[in-house]
Structure 1
C-alpha cells in the first residue's frame, strides 16, 4: 500500500503556485475561488505561511512571497545540479541544433520535465518545468519503458491500448526514441537516455519542436548532440 500524501502540504504548495510575475500578491478570496475552498480555510493557510516567513503581508488582506522563499530559491540555484551542471549543457544543445531541449525524470505520474532550454527559432516550442508527459506516446516515455522490467512496464501501460513491443525493441537497438506527432500532431521529438554511475536510467533528454522541421538530417544531428550531452551529464 502506498503512503498517503499530506493534504495540507499539497494545499500549501497549490497556494504558492498561484503566484506569478503578473500576480505578485494574492488574497484569501482569490485562493478560495481558484482552489475550491472556503475563505476562512484559505485565510488560515495564508496566515500560517506568513507566520513562518514563506509569505509576507505589506497591506491588509494581501500576501506576497516572503524572505524564506527567496533564501530557498538562492540556495536551490547554488546547489541544484540541474542549474549548475545540466542547464548549461542543454543550453548549448539548443544553441547548436536551434530547437528546444528538455530533460525528464520519471515521477509518480510519468516522465516529468525538470529542465528546459528554449530554441531561438522565430517559431519555437516550449514546455514548463513540472509538465508530466504521457508515457506511451512520447519519446521520453518510450525510453523509460524500454529500460523497465516487464512487470514495471505492464504497470505503467495498464489501462492503455498500446502495443509497443516492436517499437521498444527498435529503441533499445538504436539507442534513441522518436515522437513523430504521436502525442500532439504538429510536434516532433527525439530523445536519448542518460545513465547514472550505477548503469541505470537516471534521466532522458530530448530535442523537440515543430514536426515539419524534423527531417532525417535534423534527427541525425540531434541524436549526435544529445548523446554527447548525455555523456557530459553522466560524468
Structure 2
C-alpha cells in the first residue's frame, strides 16, 4: 500500500476543493519557482512543496513531457519553453479593465460606496477605472480625471509605497491601508490599499470613497480584501492580512 503522509504537504494544503489531486500538485510544483530562481534541485523542490521525492519525480516527468519543466544536464530543474509560450498568449490577450472592473463592482456591491483604481501619472494620480455608488449623494470623480497625489487616500497610498517619508506614510506601509477623512475635500472620505504585480512592483491603488458622514472603519477590511483579490488576479502577492 502507498505510504500515507503524516501531515498534509504544502501542495495539498493549496489544493482546489473537488479538483484533481495530481493536477493540483503539479501546478503547485510550478508555483514553487520564485522571482530570481533560475533552477531548483529536487531537494529544494521537495522542501518548498512538502512532497515526497518519489511523488515529485513522477510529477516532474509529466511536466517535462509537457515542456512546462526543463531538466538541465546538472540534474536541476527550470521552467520550460511552454511557460514562455503561454505567457505570450496571456500578455497578448490581457485586458486590465476586465480584471479591475469586476473587483470594483464587488466592492461597491458590498459597501454601496464608490470604488476606483488609481495609478501614478507624473506628479498626479490618474483615476483609471471607477464604479459609482448607487446612492444619489456621492463624490463625482470620473474615470480619466487627474487628482492630487499628495492628498486623498489613493494618493497617500501611491506615495507611501513609492517611498515617501514621514510618520503617516510609514504607518500606511505597515498597515497596508490608508483611511482619510476630509484629506482631499472636507466632504469626502476615502479608504485605499495598494495593488501589486508579480514582481512586487506597485501597480496602483484601489480606493473606496464616500461622503464624510457615511465613513465607516468597517470599510477597511472590504478594501483590503478587494486589493488582495486584484493583486492575486494580476499575479502578485499581497503582503497584508485581509
> Which residue matches 2:85?
none
Alpha-carbon shift at residue 148 of structure 1 (Å): 2.1
Q: Any idea what the Cα deviations from partners look like across 1:73-125, whole Å, max 9, x if unmatched?
A: xxxxxx67233221122111111111100101101231111000111123222
1:213 aligns with 2:214: yes
> Which residue matches 2:189?
188
> Which residue matches 2:107?
93
Q: Is contact 1:86-1:233 (8 Å) kept? A: no
| Structure of higher CA gyration radius | 2
> Which residue matches 1:148?
162
Runs of at least 4 residues of structure 1 off by over 4 A?
none
Q: Any idea what the Cα deviations from partners look like across 1:9-67, whole Å, max 9, x if unmatched?
A: xxxxxxxxxxxxxxxxxxxxxxxxxxxxxxxxxxxxxxxxxxxxxxxxxxxxxxxxxxx
C-alpha RMSD of the superposition: 2.2
- Aligned pairs for 1:89-128 (under 5 A) are 89-128=103-142
TM-score by length of 1: 0.56
SS of the residue aligned with 2:206?
strand
Of 217-226 and 128-137, more deviation after overlay is shown by 217-226
Larger relative helix fraction: 1
Alpha-carbon shift at residue 176 of structure 1 (Å): 0.7
- Aligned pairs for 1:6-17 (under 5 A) are none
Q: Is contact 2:107-2:222 (8 Å) kept? A: no
Instruction: Kindly tell me the number of residue pairs found equivalent between the two proteins.
Output: 145
> Which residue matches 1:168?
169
TM-score by length of 2: 0.54
User: Which runs of no fewer than 5 residues in structure 1 stay unpaired?
Assistant: 1-78, 154-163
SS of the residue aligned with 1:133?
strand
User: Which runs of no fewer than 5 residues in structure 2 stay unpaired?
Assistant: 1-92, 237-242
> Which residue matches 2:178?
177
TM-aligned CA distance change 1:201 to 1:129, over 3 Å: same
SS of the residue aligned with 2:159?
helix
